[in-house]
Amino acid sequence: MAKGYLIAHIRVHDSEAFEEFKKLSGAAIAAHNGKVLVRNPDPDHREGGAQGLAIVIEFEDLASARSFYESEAYTEARAVREKIADTDLILVEGL
């Protein structure tokens, strides 16, 4: 079965408040057996407008990635993030 991935670029406007988002989202990721593969605050950006912190999280499958994103725990974390950052985020199925 193909893995599911969350891929995001996050442009943080309040670094202090972002620490709260990291704490909340980290617990939600762990609860859904997610694995952070990439977390880079300064990626080598070459093309397009999706700049900012790059993050890639792996889940068992796409359904698990969706379950994480739609979970109550991540909804709480997302509410914090939406106040202090602009984000481009996609869920995709791996090969």
In this predicted structure, what is the pLDDT of residue 1? 87
Return the pLDDT at 25: 98
- Measured CA to CA, the distance from residue 9 to residue 41 in angstroms comes to 9
User: What does the block give as tokens for 57?
Assistant: 């999280």
Residue 50: the pLDDT is: 87
Q: What is this structure's pTM?
A: 0.94
Half-sphere exposure of 37 (CA within 13 A, CB side): 10
Q: Which of 95, 90, 87, 91 is nearest to 12 (CA)?
A: 87
State residue 59's pLDDT score: 98
Residue 65 has pLDDT above 90, yes or no: yes
pLDDT band, residue 49 (cuts 50/70/90)? confident
Q: What pLDDT is recorded for position 70?
A: 98
Domains of the chain: 4-93 (3.30.70.100)
